[in-house]
Amino acid sequence: MNKLYFKYGTMGSSKTAQALMCRYNYLQKNFNVLIAKPSIDTRSKNISSRIGLSSPCETFDKQTNLMDFYKNFDKLKKVDVFIIDEAQFLTTSQVNDLKEITKFIPVLCYGLLTNFKTELFEGSKRLVELADSLMEIKSVCKCGRKATINARKIDGKIVRSGDEIAIGGDENYEGMCYWCYKKELNNK
């Protein structure tokens, strides 16, 4: 039975690296992989991890019907598995599409659970509601505790206001435990 998987973690937890390793594993077994990400992630045309793994990918925007997207690729070359990076940027409707795609193939989504305000992203919320399998990809805070917060920093200081989405990496975000996050917020 095909499933909808959501593998989530904080910034720097190796979500993208794991998505790329999963892709490699399927390719090694001669499966055709459709790997994609939302076009809002403009850092690269590829899916690229901090440790240097990279792959060409397809992109889509918020208006894309992912069932049609999948079917168009499946007509060109049979798709055996669909992998999505940056899944937090999906819309509710797109997650609904992904669930429908599991009638045909497995769908694996990788992304953040919460934004820098510690609130669920729209796509993550719907994935938690519909996924057949949820898996936390754990990472550690600088203190050694489990990182659970995606702290956004500007000029080295944590911020709690601003647009929900500001694309960036280590220069703008840090995975932190709740206690280090609270401590830095109180030291402003």
Would 57 be classed as within a structural domain? yes
Would 77 be classed as within a structural domain? yes
Would 116 be classed as within a structural domain? yes
For residue 125, give its domain range: 4-137
Task: Provide the CATH number for the domain around residue 23.
Answer: 3.40.50.300
Would 143 be classed as within a structural domain? no
Which ranges of the chain would DSSP assign to H, the alpha helix? 15-28, 66-76, 92-101, 122-130, 178-186
Across 105-115, average pLDDT: 96
Asked whether the predicted pLDDT for residue 44 surpasses 80, the reply is: no
What confidence category does residue 101 fall into, taking pLDDT thresholds of 50, 70 and 90? very high
Would 56 be classed as within a structural domain? yes
10 Å CB burial of residue 28 (0-12, 13-18, 19+) is: exposed
Residue whose C-alpha is closest to residue 93's, from 119, 136, 125, 120: 125
Across 74-85, average pLDDT: 93
Would 157 be classed as within a structural domain? no
Across 2-18, average pLDDT: 94
Would 154 be classed as within a structural domain? no
Lookup: tokens for 61: 């925007």
Q: What is the pTM of this model?
A: 0.90
The tally of domains found in the chain comes to 1
Q: Which residues participate in catalysis according to the annotation?
A: 86
- Per the prediction, the chain carries an average pLDDT of 89
pLDDT tens sequence across 46-69 = 877 878 887 889 999 999 999 999
Would 34 be classed as within a structural domain? yes
